[in-house]
Amino acid sequence: TQLLEQSPQFLSIQEGENLTVYCNSSSVFSSLQWYRQEPGEGPVLLVTVVTGGEVKKLKRLTFQFGDARKDSSLHITAAQPGDTGLYLCAVYNNNDMRFGAGTRLTVKP
């Protein structure tokens, strides 16, 4: 069983549509991070959420940390082809850092 479960695994949408991806766990975390990875590159940090119920916005991306700090969501408004990539959630687990399996998003023009 993975520490972090991400859904959906794959998502293909048209440009302009809205979407939400999820990161869930049965464990409580002090913080959670979202990364985006493009083909041939390493992941790059998008945001860190810390407080239960916290909402952070990054342009068209809205991140929410669940009240119980066990889950998080990423909502993209009016998706663009440049949003295409693998979205990964991650947490620090004691001294190490663990990732979910990711949501692979494709935005078609």
Residue 11 C-beta: closest distance to another protein, Å: 15
Question: Cα(85)–Cα(75) distance, rounded to whole angstroms?
Answer: 14
Q: Which is nearer to another protein, 2 or 18 (CB)?
A: 2
Residue 26 C-beta: closest distance to another protein, Å: 17
Residue 108 C-beta: closest distance to another protein, Å: 21
Query: Which of 34, 37, 36 lies closest to 50 in space, CA to CA?
Result: 34
Question: Cα(23)–Cα(64) distance, rounded to whole angstroms?
Answer: 10
Q: Which is nearer to another protein, 58 or 78 (CB)?
A: 58
59 Ramachandran zone, left/alpha/beta (phi>0; psi -120 to 50): left
Q: Which is nearer to another protein, 1 or 109 (CB)?
A: 1
Secondary structure letter of residue 81 according to DSSP: G
Q: Which is nearer to another protein, 14 or 51 (CB)?
A: 51
* Alpha carbon of residue 64 to chain centroid: 10
Query: Which of 2, 5, 1 lies closest to 103 in space, CA to CA?
Result: 5
- Positions in the binding site for another protein (CB under 8 A): 6, 9, 30-31, 33, 35, 40-45, 48, 50, 86, 88, 90, 92, 95-102
Residue 31 C-beta: closest distance to another protein, Å: 5
